[in-house]
Amino acid sequence: MPSKEFADPVIRQSIDTIRLLAADAVEKAKSGHPGTPMEAAPIAYLLYMKHLRHNPANPDWAGRDRFILSCGHASTLIYSMLHLTGYDLSLDAIKDFRQFGSQTAGHPEFGHVPGVETTTGPLGQGVAVAVGMAMGGQYLAQHVDAELFDYRTWVICSDGDLMEGVSAEAASLAGHLKLGQLNYLYLDNKITIEGDTSLAFTEDVGARYLACGWHVQRVEGENLAEIDTAMERAKNDPRPSLIIARTHIGIGAPNKEDTHDAHGAPLGAEELRLTKEAYGRDPEATFVVPTAVAEHMGGCLAKGAELENVWQQQLEVKKAKPTVAGWLAVSKGELPADWDSALPTFAAGEAKATRQASGAAINALAPQLPFLLGGSADLAPSNNTEIKGEKSWLPGESGRNIHYGIREHAMGSIMNGLCHTPGLIPFAGTFFVFADYMRPAIRMAALMGLAPIYVFTHDSIGLGEDGPTHQPIEHLASLRAMPNLTVIRPADANETVEAWKAAIANRQGPTALVLTRQGLPTVDRSRFAAADGLQKGGYVLAAEAGELQLILIATGSEVQHALAARETLQAEGIGTRVVSLPSWELFDAQDSDYRAQVLPAACSKRVAMETAATFGWERYVGCAGSIIGMEGFGASAPAGELMKHFGFTAENFVAKAKELLG
């Protein structure tokens, strides 16, 4: 039995306890992954007991090291570690693994369990989020205080994490930026669900990471001395580090060790009994934590309290330092009283793409919000995401302008890591069609209640000649379907400014700003309602004259056509209201009285127009309404021709309205 190689009997007992708690939890739930927690136990033990700077009594203190279990299917590993080292996670909670309402979900979830830094499960997300966490730490070290924020980000990851494409993008950027505070511990067990990794994965992982600029070491996963030495070397190397540990899935299980049978299913009652016998434990006893182990691993509480106390003393000395004082305020979620005072107002009639108005808003906000930072996937000139006058983020130097390269998958995940950094407000841009590349990270942000801001430009067929490959006709519907994601498609420059205000104020979930490539006329607010109606998601932009007979609803670039159509219809004596509906989520969050004022039930004749798939619009137009939208993909042609061809004109608005009115 490999664990008997650990000379100190208490250490051996501790590692065995980690393994068997994990196996017992999976067995009781009749669901889960026992093999990976068993193989990773020595590495996790050494990390928590020696190398990880943490305080179980206060898991969120800002100076702590960060730990991510990227292979989230091995969640019983982190649950066992948290319980044994003194976090507020009871043994009963571990016994409740994967049960409804339990803290110990099937994959570790941020906000449910103290000590879980980020939700993991979709493989590759954890290692990519870790890059963002390491970048956040570097930013705080260089812009707030290097002594306070010298923390390290540790990751335990698996073959599956490193096979996923997002990990390659993230590793490439991390190596380029020389993120020396980032360390991966890779469980090289040669097993996936289908069998041996050689079925699909024969690359030299170490060589790949060396090529990306990483420090790479190899160790035996049961050799604590080797692992310890490798971790020390990693901490002293200026490059990000990958420690490849040759491990054995389901170690100690007589018939399932080193097989895929130990991966995605319980060991089974008989195999678990034999495993406990092999470990020298009572085969009938479950969830056993020997007193010696509880006392030994519980020592992390006293050690952690001392580590945090030293840090808090440093903070007390430094809190009058302007950079530290500023960070302390924003880290509590506070915004400066005048944060939105410099935002621009645009003159009526001025034609401006909403992406341009967004760029102006970013640059007005940046001096007021020093922890606002962002970039683009090599599209900053198109997305208008550059903070002018600020430095670029380069190897060893963290500026406010981040150059992600053509790496949207990793960009989304890295933003989530930056959001986990106290005080930071990250944004990032790409063309709206490439939101698909970011979707797993967007979903994780929504699930965790993180608040990145996505600047999605080139929002429709209005981008023109690039053609249907770049025209995101289905993306609005698909993103609106995601819980806790706020999607905003502003109608003009002033609505765009309001959209940025809404995005900054929203700290409970991500916000997607969906912006045009083409210029849009700026609405004359002296004739029509103020742009701050956007804060409620939808508002009466132009009221009807006379009896209300018809409501025209639009978002983004189509609002101009609704206003023009209203002029024609009102001239013919048809009482027509125009509703700008830039955010379904914000509108649906309003009380029923307000929504009824904007869209009164008594007026069933409604026409909606949006240069996107019509899916979902039924909720606003009802059975008696009509929707002008895209029924297929777009085409390559100048934007004006496309708009006419597909019917996005004031004339078509009028025609559809008259059809409804009979």
Catalytic residues: 408
Residue 627 token pair: 């929707």
Q: CA-to-CA distance for 390 and 334, rounded, in angstroms?
A: 23
Q: CA-to-CA distance for 458 and 518, rounded, in angstroms?
A: 8
Residue 239 token pair: 């490059």
Length of the chain counted residue by residue:
662
Q: CA-to-CA distance for 569 and 587, rounded, in angstroms?
A: 26
**Would you state the torsion angle of the CA atoms of residues 423, 428, 434, 437, taken in this order, to the nearest 10 degrees?**
-40
Q: CA-to-CA distance for 164 and 129, rounded, in angstroms?
A: 13
CB contact set of 354 (below 8 Å; sequence gap of 6+) = 490, 492, 493, 495, 496, 515, 516, 520, 556
Contact of 55 with 67, CB cutoff 8 Å: no
Q: CA-to-CA distance for 615 and 500, rounded, in angstroms?
A: 26
Q: CA-to-CA distance for 377 and 403, rounded, in angstroms?
A: 7
Residue 79 token pair: 């649950």
Query: Is beta strand 372-376 parallel, antiparallel or unpaired with respect to 401-403?
Result: parallel
Q: CA-to-CA distance for 186 and 123, rounded, in angstroms?
A: 13
Contact of 324 with 315, CB cutoff 8 Å: yes
Long-range contacts (CB closer than 8 Å, 24 or more residues apart) made by 268-273: 268/27, 269/27, 272/23, 272/24, 272/27
Contact of 482 with 457, CB cutoff 8 Å: no
DSSP symbol at 392: B
Contact of 391 with 348, CB cutoff 8 Å: no
101: left (phi over 0), alpha (psi -120 to 50) or beta: left
Residue with tokens 């420059």, as numbered in its chain:
493
Q: CA-to-CA distance for 364 and 419, rounded, in angstroms?
A: 21
CB contact set of 431 (below 8 Å; sequence gap of 6+) = 379, 382, 383, 456, 457, 458, 463, 470, 472
Residue 79 three-state SS: helix
Q: CA-to-CA distance for 79 and 120, rounded, in angstroms?
A: 13
Q: CA-to-CA distance for 463 and 533, rounded, in angstroms?
A: 27
Q: Which alpha helices (H) appear in 116-186, and where do they start and end? A: 125-143, 159-163, 165-177
Q: CA-to-CA distance for 166 and 173, rounded, in angstroms?
A: 11
111 burial (CB, 10 Å; 0-12 / 13-18 / 19+) is exposed
